Amino acid sequence: DGGITQSPKYLFRKEGQNVTLSCEQNLNHDAMYWYRQDPGQGLRLIYYSQIVNDFQKGDIAEGYSVSREKKESFPLTVTSAQKNPTAFYLCASSPRPSTEAFFGQGTRLTVV
């Protein structure tokens, strides 16, 4: 079945450590996105990529980094510079401009 796979579902890290969240899609979509979700704040865009080897910052990119070496993959690294990294992270993709985004099941990151 086609879809977006995020792994792991739950992730625990110690403060000060970098951590990488995986996102893979087999929908052949050009664009991929990372959103962060906090209670009562909806979703906020971290980074997005419209094509391989290119990506742009979203609204809250500070403390995060991404890469897009393959069309299917868009990993997100939460660095130690991110002040409050505990959140629910959602990856999404879309096939072309002006279309809806399709979401993965999310990764809940807890930093202790």
Q: For residues 78 and 64, give the distance between their C-alpha atoms in angstroms, rounded to a whole number.
A: 5
Q: Say how many C-beta atoms besides its own lie within 10 A of residue 53's C-beta.
A: 9
Task: By CB under 8 A, tell whether 11 contacts other proteins.
Answer: no
Subset of 47-76 contacting other proteins (CB under 8 A)? 48, 50, 58
Piece of 12-20, 68-76, 77-85, 86-94 that binds other proteins (CB under 8 A): 86-94
Q: Kindly report the length of the chain.
A: 112
Q: For residues 56 and 90, give the distance between their C-alpha atoms in angstroms, rounded to a whole number.
A: 17
The one among 14, 41, 53, 84 contacting other proteins by CB under 8 A: 41
# chain residues binding other proteins, by CB under 8 A? 31
Q: Are 47 and 57 in contact (CB under 8 A)?
A: yes
Residues that bind other proteins (CB under 8 A): 4, 6, 30-31, 33, 35, 40-45, 48, 50, 58, 90, 92-94, 96-106, 108
